[in-house]
Each structure stands twice: as C-alpha cells, then as structure tokens.
Structure 1
Amino acid sequence: MNTARAAEEARVRRIVYLGGLHPPGAALSPHLASRKQVGDVFLASRVPAVVFQAAVVIGSGSASFEMLRYLTERLPVMVTPRWVRNRVQPIAVRDVVRYLVEAVGLPEGINRAFDVGGPDVLTYRDMMLRYAAVAGLRPRRVVGVPVLTPKLSSHWVNLVTPVPRSIAAPLIESLVHEVVCREDDVLRLLPGPLTGYDRAVGLALARIRAGDVETRWSNASVPGAPSDPLPTDPGWSGGSSYVDLRERRTHAPPDRLWAVVEGIGGEHGWYSFPLAWAVRGWADRLVGGVGLRRGRRDARRLHVGEALDWWRVEEVERGRLLRLRAEMRVPGRAWLELRVADDGRGGSTYRQRAVFVPRGLAGHLYWWLVWPFHGLVFGGMVRNITSEAELTSEFRKS
C-alpha cells in the first residue's frame, strides 16, 4: 500500500507489476496469495495499473527455473510428489521483459490483470525431462510418490540444491496448483512471437555451452540478452560452477611473467608435479581422450584455436590474459585462466583461475574427488610460475 500511495502522490502515470499466475477461487499458498494481494492493491489505487500474472519464468536467476535446473542436473533418478504432474504454462524471461517494457505504451485507462504464458503447457515432470534433453543430459527417471508433502519436498530441495529453503518452500507450495492462462488478451494488445520452452532453456544455457566463461563468472560486462546471467543474480543462480582462484605478487616485471605464462605446456611442462600431470594425461588417453601427446606448435607464442596438450587456446590478450578450454574427457566443461597485471611498483601480480561446470551428478562427484589435489597442483603452479619469472629476470640483470 505504501508503494501505491507513493505512486499516487508522485502522479505516476502507470504502475506495471509482475505477479503470479493462480487458479480462480482456490485456496492459495501464502506465496501466491501475497503476490495476488499486491496486484489487487495496485489495481485498487488511483494510478492505472497493469498486472502481469506469470507461472514459471524460464531464465537464469529465476528461482523457479534454478530449482528445476539443479534438481534435473544433479539427480538422474528423482522421487517426486504428486504435484509434478500438475500442468504449468512456463514463459521465457525474454518474453516477460518484453511485456514489462511494452506495457508503457498501452492505451491510457487500462487498469487490469493479464495472464501471460508461453506457447507450451507442460507438467513439471515434462519440464524436467525436456530440460535434460536440451542440456544434453542422460534421460532422467521421475518416480512419483504420494507421501511427499510440500514441507518435506522443500527440505529435500534444500539438501540437494543450493536454493535456500526459505525460497524453495514457498515455490513448492505454489506448485500444488495448476497454473495455466485462462485468457490471452495480452496477445491482442501486445502482439509478438513467444519463445517455446525448449528454446527458452537453450537460451539460458547458451553462454555456458559457448564457453563464455568470462561473462558468466565475473562482473565484467552487461549481458546481451534477458536470458543471460546478471552480476546481481543470487549466488545460487546461473547453474553450478566450481572455481579455484589463486593469486601471487612477484617482483618480476610483467613482460617476464608473461613470457613464462605464454611458454607453458609442451616441453616447458605445467610447472607443478610433472608426475601428476602425466598420470592425468595417461588416464585421459585410456578413456579415449587426447592426453598430453599434442604438445604445442610454437615454444614461445600461442594463438587462439591452437591445441596445447589437452587444452585448446580460447583467448589470448598478449601480455595480459591466457584462457584455455579443456578437451580432456571429464563430466563437464573446464577452463584455466592465467592473468598478468602490472602492480605499479616495477613488479607484477599473477592471477590463476580454474573453472569447472559439472554435467550431472557425475560432474559434482568428479570435482570433489580431485579437489584435495588442487592445493598441490594449482598451488604449485602459482609458486613455480612466479619463481621462474623471478629467476629469468635476475638472469637478464646479471
């Protein structure tokens, strides 16, 4: 009510609100009832309001989508409550954003709620199975049982996903209702193509599939599409990823440190426990991977697209950044990023980041199995790369 009153006092021309789709006349969950009540307050104010009522929004950062994503990716077999067979009309985040923006241009005097949804009406079970197909996961088995209450379900979601129970509980309580559009008047007033469920999921996964690790795992840029992750999204959104980040200052100048970084791999090795790297390479070859046999084309210079042992050079900013994408056989996607920065005092800072995006439960298990060795392997790399740069700097001075 405070927002509605403030809008009246400020003489706002229109309020646009995104609420929740709900069945008429049903006893709503507290979550859905609250969203409906907010919409009703806006519609009852003296400021014309447009209230869009949506079910599950498909896109990175949407709590409903993130819950579905994590459950599907982490559980090849799911024991589920009866509500997974309820019908849902999901909508892509890009379509929601379009409606919110274009609502500004609706004719004056419109003061009403609109049901909004995508072109597909699915069960929650269908949504999980189709997510798995789009994401390239093995087919999931969904087994329904009658004894799982919403409260028990929310505890289970909290246990197997990073979505907090405080968020999962109200969402699950809302899923006991079938949420399908009862009218489609918005299509007449705001016409335009709608995004199907499979395409919406594909858009949400596109950045990870493309290997755009920089945009996904840093605050470096503004995303180009509504389906992309935002730096302001909660930490549990955007799908699972694991990061090993290490940094060390050195008195070696940036050019000497970069020379060591760009010379990595091949005959120079990886500056950390050669036996561990060799064993990993042999293991990769045993399962049909490339191993360490590819070496490198040039001992001193790297170029985008080149092979480097079991890595592929994905990006080179000469003197600053080397990003490698793993081509070894692992249940997920992996990158290794090496950065050099001038510290402004004649020395430099070396920053090393390993990123792993798991695929399914096997991917999560893989990360935690190799995690104890990261201190030895990645920690050794940081120490030895900076030490090598310092040695070559001292040699040049002498």
Structure 2
Amino acid sequence: MKTQVAIIGAGPSGLLLGQLLSRQGIDNIILERRSGEYVLGRIRAGVLEQGMVDLLREAGVDKRMDEEGETHDGVELALDKRRVRVDLAGLTGGKTVMVYGQTEVTRDLMEAREATEGTTIYEADNVQPHDLESDSPYITFERDGETHRLDCDYVAGCDGFHGVSRKSIPADRIKEFEKVYPFGWLGLLADTPPVADELIYARHERGFALCSMRSPTRSRYYIQVGLDERVEDWSDERFWEELKRRIPDDVADKLVTGPSLEKSIAPLRSFVVEPMQFGRLFLVGDAAHIVPPTGAKGLNLAASDVNTLYRLMVHVYQEGRTDLIPNYSATCLKRVWKAERFSWWMTSMLHKFSEEEDFATRMQQAELDYVTSSEAGLTTIAENYVGLPYESLE
C-alpha cells in the first residue's frame, strides 16, 4: 500500500486531518488500533472553541453541529458565596464557544470519510513507523494475522498520549515537561436536563465542581476528588449529594438527578513534549501534549495542531513549499504553551490544594478577587476560553 500522508489514530484529530486533506486532493490512509465502535464509545469533552468550529465548517462536517450544537456566549464562576458571569462574546468582540460532544464530532467525521470512500483501517495491531528521517518512511502493521506495509511521504501521529508515535522518537531527541496535580476529576454523565444554560465552574471549600452539558437532555458533571479515590466507592446518590454541596444553593435546588450513563475518575496533568516533530513524523494532539480539563482545551488544542499540519501539507503538495516543514513544531508550540498556561492557571485558581488556610490559599483568593473584579482580568479569561488565534507557519 502507498499513500501521501499516513495518519496513525482515528480519533477526532486523525479523522479531521484526513477529511481536510482529502478535500484538497491529498491522499491519506488512517490506521487505528481499536474498532470503530470503540472509538465512538469514548466519552470526552464537548466545548469547542470558535477556531475549531470554523475548522469543522471548512472540513464540511458542520451540518449536524449547527443544527444540534448549542452556541454559548458566556460561562459562570461560582466562588463560594459569590457568582460572576464571564461575558465571552462581549469581551472578545463577539466570539463564542459551541457545546457539541466529541462523540458527535467523531461520528460526523466518520460518516464524512465513509461518504468520500476514504480508507480507514481499524483493528490494526503492532503499528510501527520506520525510517522517519529518510525520504521514504513507511509503517508496518498487522491485521487478520498478516503483516502489511504502508509506504508514505509523511506520518501524522494522532494516536494519543499512550500511542506509538511519540514512542517512535529516540529519547535523546525529545524533551518532556510535566506537572502532575494532587487530585483528579470524578465525572458523571446522565440523561438529565442541564442545571443551567451556561457552564458553571465552582470553587468551594470542599473542592472544585463543574456543571456542564452535552445537549439539552444530557448533562455532564464533575467534582474534584483525591487520587486515592475509587469510582466503585461513589454511588450515584453520593455523587449527586456531594455536587449539591459544592454549587450555589439556588442551582442545587434546580438540579435534576438520575442514573449515571458513565462514571470515571481522570487524574489531572500538564504535559508537553518538544519538539513535536521528528524527521517526517508530526505529533498531533495528545501524542504531544496533555492539559488539565479546567480550561476546556484538550480537543481544541488538537484541532489547532491539525490546522497547522493541514495547511503545511497544502503548502507542500500544492506549492512545493518543503521549506516550511521545519516550522511545524515551533508554530504549534507557541499556541500549545499558551493553552497550557491558561489550563494550569484556571486549575490553580479553582481547585483546593490544601486542607489548611496557608499562603497559597490566600494568593488563590487574591487572584480570583482581582481577576473577577477587573475587566482586564475577565477579558483574559474570555479570550483564552474562546480560543486564541491560530498561529501562522510563516
């Protein structure tokens, strides 16, 4: 087999890249270790930045998103007894976010790829890139007991934090930066109407909480828990009761509870690898960076990587601009580190780090007091939340 761009990973970033490339006549094949059903079953984020929404429209997969997604022009901060609305649109010149589940984005992209007869090979085992620093890289993989070879010009590693792409780079050629937080998020998904029209980020003495949604009939809630907690110890009833304690009383009074569809604990970490490129391999999304979910940046940051790599490939194949290839990593990392900073900052302000009232606690309170009483502070939250502009390759 031969293609121009081999994409490892059929999550939303790999599928979005494939869709964009196909629309420009750039041949690509996607390899995915799991089945299509497994990929669709993953429950993930649902807040899309303005830039990602525009990119999905450019990819031609916006019909259902525009029909079913919910445009949000604000978010709310509930800070113990105080509540502050961040007017996203008003503070950013009209920019907004779209609430539309990652599962639905993935479904739309899968259907679009099937409609264009793009090649996606699911259940590809032992995927391994080779000769990445040569002019003729290739990938080997196993399927149905046979070993296959895929020759290509370039490889896009869209296979996540645990994927093979980053691990294919020699350890002495990359540097990792990481911060692990001393808590996780216990998340619950339920077919209940959202408790509010906009997301509510709550800072409370018992710990952080988030009221989010996937649709007008499906809600997603999170509470901060210790790393030693187990999902099995959290009944639905216990979760709902703890959530009610951490959100404003009038919000808790309106909360509609119900049986969980899914419940899980996600540890929080910040992680970046530099560079995001090795020879003809380009790392995309979680393969190169992880953010704590507080800033709603994970999927959106992957989309900005896709945007950069897509436009790079268009320059290469349509204009012969191979001189831009070395710019990929630096271009992506400009935006990556800004998103990492925002996610770290939001996490640092809104979570409980200590049982004691210490210096760090007072600094946290002072930071929140300043940010929420200053238009400049609120603007900082708003323009980062809706998404900073995509970086240019030149």
TM-score of the pair, normalised by structure 1: 0.21
Higher relative contact order (CA 8 A, sep 6+): 2
TM-score of the pair, normalised by structure 2: 0.21
Q: Which has the higher strand share?
A: 2
